[in-house]
């Protein structure tokens, strides 16, 4: 993969030529597969005449996840061997299959169940083939069986994946390549595959998806910490608070086979919390993802208590109680008293100062932030917050732990909102301010979903609850409103009218069951409030909406980077793609900025700064790092600390 985009990628001999050469050999070639055959490895196996594998082998063509399609014959050989349906499924989803499925679908000729002596068994298999005069079996000589396919097979397939692949370029190219395998002779199919592969490889989407792939791996590296530092053993975990987050976080640990205890204030709260966990598993079991026996196995790993003295032998505690500093500090003081030396004390806080929380203990080195995203058992991101005194081995343990519970860990400094919620703030501000200036919630949503976000801001806040931010603003009072009383005016008024969003059936939209429709009263309200606050209402272009929301993420991201809250721009991109529904095919806000050019972002910010009067002057100053890199014609990727 690291050869993509370099001269090595086109150096002779090219992989497809090598495989064609192998396939043309008059001597049968056997692939013996004792592990992962993914991407090029899978394509190599497909170019052989026979395939034998051990039970732990896996087969897959994950190229689509990197914004490309298989480019060494995979799209032409797999349909010939496994049939169109399986091939299409594998190539378009990028998901691997196991050896038994591969055998059932004609990809494998022989499966070795015994776990030892695989090579010996494979050599015996080869000898038997030779003894039986086995012929060469080139895929090139096979035709794709299409006679059983319905006429609308490809169209129906396109429709079935449309929602999932919306905005992505490579899946459609993969479908076209497989269509080619059905309609064209082998060699022409290979040429089509090459054309489509090159097309994908040169697209911004491929650059974006490959950036994310490498960023995910780079996120584990922390400057100035020796990665060989021994980490702490985590065999027993406790979660404080069995609410929305506590239950989901507990699931992550019991899914990984780690004994977990949930503590809450009352038996009723615990019963409700554990009930939600069980229900989540039952839903998964109904969908066939886990068995009933697995539910019991996992629930047996989950204990509950109201008594802190039960946590004495816990290796890691994650606090997920109400977002209130006094309550959190009390919890941490108690944990300090009851937990054994060396236990890691973590908080799931979204915004509060981790150092202040740590100050409630006598061991701030053991305190760290482990910020999960809702729903915690589903979302891939884990923001790991490094306090000013967090010990190196605690940080490394947290990074390792993220992998154990199948999350992607990103380290953030201890700044308000950490990486994600901090850069969300100016984006959210602009989304609402644009409505005050005359855009409709539906227009704002559409611009953002057309860009590729899972949800626009008005819909997102309707889902999360408009009241949450309102309560924070009310608590801050004058300090908050003195900066700009207008931009939160609509949200405040909606809350005063008890329109909190989906939970009250009305917010920026009106909800009836699962349907939502536009609420004309919101626009009337916006007009009234705009007048009251001296804000000019006008027609707003989609481009302005895009620049004032997405470019705000970029500008604040630059600030986060410059302050050292984040180590590298890729970390911010991972946070946004895995925690906030930013489209992977854009690679995150910082990668998107690198793609369109930093000067484009600076110019747009300056334009709005000039046209929005005092408001523009207050909020649209380009971040110094953004300006500097743009002036040097550099990108965020070039910035390292």
The footprint of ligand NAD (CB under 6 A) covers 240-246, 263-265, 269, 320-323, 327, 331, 348-350, 373-374
**Residues 500 and 467 sit within 8 Å (Cβ to Cβ):** yes
Pick the closer one to ligand NAD by CB: 279 or 531. Answer: 279
* Biggest distance spanned by C-alpha atoms of the chain: 91
Q: Which helix (H) or strand (E) holds 420?
A: helix 420-436
Nearest to 175 by CA among 193, 187, 190, 191: 193
Nearest 5°: the CA angle 181, 185, 186 is 70
**How many Cβ atoms are within 10 Å of 292's Cβ, its own excluded?**
10
What are the CA-CA distances from residue 116 to residues 57, 112, 122, 124 (Å)?
13, 9, 11, 14
Residue 446 CB contacts under 8 Å (≥ 6 apart), including other chains: 456, 542
> Considering the complex, what minimum distance in angstroms separates the CB of residue 331 from ligand NAD?
5
List the structure tokens of 534. Answer: 């001296």
Q: How many residues in total does the chain contain?
A: 641
> Considering the complex, what minimum distance in angstroms separates the CB of residue 246 from ligand NAD?
6
**DSSP 8-state code for residue 456:** -
CA distance 294 to 312: 28
CA distance 262 to 249: 10
Residues labelled as active-site residues: 43, 63
> Considering the complex, what minimum distance in angstroms separates the CB of residue 242 from ligand NAD?
5
CA distance 373 to 580: 9
Burial letters 250-282, b for 16+ CB under 10 A, else e: bbbbbbbebbbbbbbeeeebbeebbeebeebbe
Closest residue to bound ligand NAD by CB: 243
Pick the closer one to ligand NAD by CB: 67 or 241. Answer: 241
């Amino acid at each position: 993969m690291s050869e993509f985009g370099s001269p090595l990628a086109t150096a002779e001999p090219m992989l497809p030529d090598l495989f064609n050469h192998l396939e043309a050999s008059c001597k049968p070639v056997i692939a013996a597969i004792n592990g992962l055959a993914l991407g090029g490895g899978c394509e190599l196996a497909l170019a052989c005449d026979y395939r034998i594998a051990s039970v732990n082998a896996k087969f897959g063509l994950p190229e689509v996840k990197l914004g490309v399609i298989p480019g060494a014959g995979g799209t032409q050989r797999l349909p010939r061997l496994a049939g169109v349906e399986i091939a299409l499924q594998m190539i378009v989803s990028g998901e691997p299959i196991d050896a038994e499925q591969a055998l059932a679908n004609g990809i494998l000729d022989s499966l070795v169940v015994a776990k030892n002596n695989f090579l010996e068994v494979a050599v015996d298999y080869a000898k038997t083939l030779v003894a039986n005069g086995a012929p060469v079996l080139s895929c090139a000589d096979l035709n794709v069986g299409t006679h059983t396919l319905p006429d609308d097979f490809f169209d129906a397939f396109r429709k079935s994946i449309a929602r999932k692949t919306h905005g992505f370029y490579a899946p459609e190219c993969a479908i076209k390549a497989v269509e080619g395998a059905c309609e064209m002779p082998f060699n022409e199919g290979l040429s089509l595959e090459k054309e489509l592969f090159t097309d994908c490889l040169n697209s911004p989407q491929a650059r974006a998806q490959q950036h994310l792939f490498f960023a995910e791996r780079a996120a584990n590296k922390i400057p100035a910490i020796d990665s060989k530092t021994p980490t702490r053993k985590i065999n027993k975990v406790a979660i404080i608070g069995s609410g929305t987050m506590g239950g989901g976080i507990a699931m992550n640990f019991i899914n990984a086979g780690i004994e977990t205890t949930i503590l809450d204030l009352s038996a009723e709260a615990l019963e409700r919390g554990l009930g939600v966990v069980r229900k989540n598993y039952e839903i998964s079991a109904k969908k066939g993802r886990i068995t009933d026996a697995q539910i019991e196995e996992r629930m047996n790993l989950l204990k509950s208590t109201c008594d802190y003295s039960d946590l004495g032998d816990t290796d890691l505690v994650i606090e997920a109680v109400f977002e209130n500093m006094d309550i959190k500090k009390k919890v941490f003081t108690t944990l300090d008293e009851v937990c054994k030396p060396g236990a890691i004390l973590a908080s799931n806080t979204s915004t509060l100062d981790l150092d202040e929380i740590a100050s409630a203990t006598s061991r701030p080195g053991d305190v760290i932030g482990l910020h999960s995203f809702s729903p915690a058992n589903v979302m891939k991101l884990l923001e790991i917050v490094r306090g000013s005194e967090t010990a190196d081995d605690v940080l490394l343990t947290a990074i390792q732990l993220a992998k154990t519970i199948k999350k992607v860990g990103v380290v953030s400094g201890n700044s308000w909102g950490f990486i994600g919620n901090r850069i969300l703030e100016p984006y959210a501000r602009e989304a609402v301010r644009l409505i005050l200036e005359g855009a409709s919630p539906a227009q704002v949503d559409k611009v953002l979903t057309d860009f590729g976000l899972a949800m626009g801001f008005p819909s997102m806040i309707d889902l999360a609850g408009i009241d949450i931010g309102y309560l924070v603003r009310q608590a801050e009072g004058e300090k908050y409103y003195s900066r700009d009383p207008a931009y939160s005016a609509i949200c405040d008024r909606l809350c005063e009218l008890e329109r909190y969003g989906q939970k009250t059936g009305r917010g920026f939209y009106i909800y009836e069951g699962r349907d939502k429709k536009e609420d004309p009263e919101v626009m009337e309200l916006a007009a009234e409030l705009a007048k009251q606050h001296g804000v000019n209402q006008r027609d707003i272009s989609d481009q302005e909406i895009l620049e004032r929301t997405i470019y705000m993420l970029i500008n604040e991201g630059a600030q986060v980077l410059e302050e050292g809250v984040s180590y590298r721009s890729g970390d911010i991109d991972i946070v946004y793609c895995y925690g906030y529904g930013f489209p992977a095919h854009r690679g995150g806000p910082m990668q998107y900025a690198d793609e369109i050019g930093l000067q484009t972002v600076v110019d747009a910010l300056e334009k709005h700064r000039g046209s929005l009067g005092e408001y523009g002057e207050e909020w649209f100053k380009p971040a110094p790092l953004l300006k500097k890199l743009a002036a040097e014609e550099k990108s965020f990727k070039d910035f390292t600390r």
